Chain A
Amino acid sequence: MLEIRNLHAGVEGRDILKGVDLTINAGEVHAVMGPNGSGKSTLAAILAGREGYDVRQGEVLYNGVDLLEMDPEERAREGVFLAFQYPVEIPGVNSTYFLKAALNEIRKHKGLPELDAMEFLSLVKEKMKILELREDFLKRPVNAGFSGGEKKRNEIFQMAVLEPKLAILDETDSGLDIDALKTVAEGVNRLKKPDNAQLVITHYQRLLNYIVPDVVHVLFDGRIVRSGTKDLALELEEKGYDWIVKHEALPA
């Protein structure tokens, strides 16, 4: 589904990604871990199409198509979803209205009929149960005045409604207490299907107690220096990133 080949990218003349290779197949959950400044969020931003990043080398294929050539909204309509590390507030814009507009754009793109207000509402109510959201949530403006935890839940809720093919979760665990973390992880797990994939970006191992990845990658200084099973995450937790750094320094 996603193939990243030798990706070099940076921002404002600074090299951040220095040759990332990563392949994700349908039905898989991958975790990318790494210390601060290793390039995790840059990777997420480039996949979603945020401006301001220069791709200097390499390519990204999404279902065989050049992802980097697509506008951000095209990527979204093709099923790429980014759960933001810092979800953005849009004052005055009703959450339901926003999400309905988004879903209908995606449906239009797929050649499906748009949902009317009633159909949309019944869909949304069903999805809300997954995230244990209160109903007044729908009436509030997008993320405005939400607590950190509510914002993160809202991201996963949007993901539940939009049903993406490839979901990228950028540090969704940051700022969540343990209960919220469980709810969010539970939501993510329920959305896992044989035909979609998830890329979970995180600094800490604790999220991976609840979302069990098929593959764990360690991103360090712009490159994936190690890949393995979930045990790698545990080992990393135990020994710290320094352990990887020392190994890195040794000749292979």
Chain B
Amino acid sequence: MSTATETIEGFVKQEYKYGFYTDVESDSAPPGLNEDIIRLISRKKDEPEFLLEWRLKAFRHWQTMAEPHWPKVKYPPIDFQKISYYSAPKKRGDGPKSLDEVDPKLLETYEKLGIPLRERERLAGVAVDAVFDSVSVGTTFKETLAAKGIIFCSFSEAVREHPELVKKYLGTVVPYTDNFYASLNSAVFTDGSFCYIPKGVRCPMELSTYFRINAANTGQFERTLIIADEGSYVSYLEGCTAPMRDENQLHAAVVELISLDRAEIKYSTVQNWYPGDAQGRGGIYNFVTKRGVCKGRNSKISWTQVETGSAITWKYPSVILQGDNSVGEFYSVALTNNYQQADTGTKMVHIGKNTRSTIVSKGISAGRGQNSYRGLVKIQKSAENSRNFSQCDSLLLGDKCGAHTFPYIEVKNTTSSVEHEATTSKIGEDQIFYCNQRGLATQDAVNLIVNGFCKEVFKELPMEFAVEAQKLLGVSLEGSVG
């Protein structure tokens, strides 16, 4: 007999599908972190002097900082000297000029992940930059995009080919002094994606980066920088997976978005790093700083995230609403199962006049998962007539998980309005029984109810991703029928 209580209690996650390891020869730095390692990374990447200096300043600053303990997550102390800060698949000769020269094993890896890099196999509407451990292994559709003046390449390539843009914008949204993990990232970041959309250009396809951690005992520190020049538009997607390992691995990324006058950036994430096993062993520590600045008037930045992976997620994709009439949005689904922990949310900082922000957060806790929403809405004195609407809903499955909400609201003027709504609900046995009585199996009923709960967020995702996100939730909830 399937009873809803047993079902929910027996909530066991199905095996992680992307947990394989690719056996490629890699070129790794020895574990440990010091100025020599940073110089080594910079040299390996042939970087200009300004960048090395910037890294070193970040490193020196990082050494003065303490790891933050305010998030509602628990983990043993990380030994930063035991991590290797650089790992790259060995290159043949000078490194791949085109995808034809990329190690077939790597192409195979991405194919297994469902991300074929060969353009003829790709869906026509999406260009991909694939990042494997510390380096980008290939970017598709570069020529098509270049014809419109769009730059979409690995961060390393941007440093070589467009140093002026990198120098102008790097660290302007997330300075190297920002926080412990952002400073660490600034010192040791190895690759990531770079994107520049010129004035008035509407990017004709979705741009995406697919991050893959492969090597053991390495950290992944990528850095993404997206600049949307006046009147431009871009929709950007990122996806992530990692092999299954018993040890925890650190992923500390930084993403900076800059939206100029009338420009719009839509940034979507489907995060599926290895979450650890049912006993809570292994999994990725996902400590990420993501922030965008609506620098120009009437500009817009929209974050959408679906967070189903990682042992611990600690991230607050934020928007600084600097330009008058600018708009910031944050749509989030975070699911924690087994022993996963998530402390995630956003910051909306209103500076310009008539700025608007919307926050919709959906937290789902199952197993022994702990899910916290933490968000700041700050309306400065200058931000006259600004508005915020926040909605934070939590859904609990079973009685051993937790949902927490920490909203911070600061309003410094009298012309603005802030609304906050929050709900917490349990998947009801009566809901499941109702579905059962109409012929649906309990597992399908749970999926149906959870997907319904997340609907407002899923509709913000690009079509293809929305389908993937729904499937991913289904997989994360699979195996729950007792």
Contacts and interface: CB of A to CB of B under 8 A. Distances in A.
B65 interface: no
A92 B456 contact: yes
Contacts of A158: 438
B98 interface: no
B452 A73 contact: no
Contacts of B452: 90-93, 141
A35 interface: no
B454 interface: yes
Interface stretch (A101-109, A177-185, A200-208, A226-234): A101-109
B433 A72 contact: yes
B434 A84 contact: yes
A48 B1 CA distance: 13
A51 B439 contact: no
Nearest to A92: B452
A88 interface: yes
A82 B442 CA distance: 17
A77 B352 CA distance: 58
A87 B455 CA distance: 22
Contacts of A102: 435, 438-440
A88 B427 CA distance: 12
B440 A93 contact: no
Contacts of B430: 88
A49 B449 contact: no
A105 B439 contact: yes
A162 B438 CA distance: 8
A56 interface: no
A90 B395 CA distance: 13
Contacts of B453: 91-92
Contact of A71 (B2, B428, B451, B456): B2
A51 B2 CA distance: 9
Given A72-B433, A88-B434, A106 B439 contact: yes
Interface residues of B, number: 28
B462 to A, nearest CB: 20
A50 interface: yes
Contacts of A141: 452
A98 interface: yes
Interface of A: 48-51, 71-73, 75-77, 81-82, 84, 87-93, 98-99, 101-103, 105-106, 109, 141, 158, 162
A12 to B, nearest CB: 15
B81 interface: no
B335 to A, nearest CB: 15
Given A71-B2, A90-B448, A93-B451, A51 B433 contact: yes
Report which residue of B429, B439, B453 has the largest number of chain A beta carbons within 10 angstroms of its beta carbon. B439
A41 B362 CA distance: 36
A73 B448 contact: no
A76 B444 contact: no
Q: Nearest 5 CB-CB pairs, A to B?
A: A92-B452, A93-B452, A102-B438, A105-B439, A72-B436
Given A51-B4, A51-B5, A92-B454, A72 B437 contact: yes
A98 B447 CA distance: 12
B436 A90 contact: no
Nearest to B427: A90
Contact of A93 (B1, B433, B448, B456): B448
B interface, over-half SS: helix
A81 B434 CA distance: 11
Contact of A51 (B429, B431, B435, B448): B429
B3 interface: yes
Contacts of B431: 88-90
Contacts of B449: 90, 93
B3 A51 contact: yes
A158 B434 CA distance: 12
A162 B439 CA distance: 10
Given A71-B1, A88-B428, A93-B449, A82 B437 contact: yes
Contacts of A109: 439
Nearest to B454: A92
Nearest to A80: B437
B434 A90 contact: yes
Contacts of A81: 437
A231 to B, nearest CB: 33
Nearest to A107: B439
Given A51-B429, A93-B449, A93-B451, A76 B434 contact: no
B5 A73 contact: no
B409 interface: no
A49 to B, nearest CB: 7
Contact of B433 (A50, A77, A89): A50
Nearest to B450: A92
Interface string B371-408: 00000000000000000000000000000000000000
Given A90-B434, A90-B449, A76 B439 contact: yes
Interface in B39-86: none
Contacts of B442: 73
A134 to B, nearest CB: 22
Contacts of A88: 428, 430-431, 433-434
Contacts of B4: 51
Contacts of A72: 2, 433, 436-437
Contact of A92 (B438, B441, B444, B455): B455
B438 A76 contact: yes
Nearest to A161: B438
A48 B429 CA distance: 14
B436 A76 contact: yes
30 contacts: A49-B436, A50-B433, A51-B1, A51-B429, A72-B437, A73-B440, A73-B441, A73-B442, A76-B437, A76-B439, A84-B434, A87-B434, A88-B430, A88-B431, A90-B434, A90-B435, A91-B452, A91-B453, A93-B448, A93-B449, A93-B452, A99-B438, A101-B440, A101-B444, A102-B439, A102-B440, A105-B438, A105-B439, A109-B439, A158-B438
B451 A92 contact: yes
A141 B429 CA distance: 18
Report which residue of A72, A84, A92, A109 has the largest number of chain B beta carbons within 10 angstroms of its beta carbon. A72
Given A50-B433, A92-B453, 20 more contacts: A48-B437, A49-B437, A71-B1, A73-B436, A73-B440, A76-B436, A76-B439, A84-B434, A90-B431, A90-B434, A90-B448, A90-B449, A91-B453, A92-B456, A99-B438, A101-B440, A101-B444, A105-B439, A109-B439, A158-B438
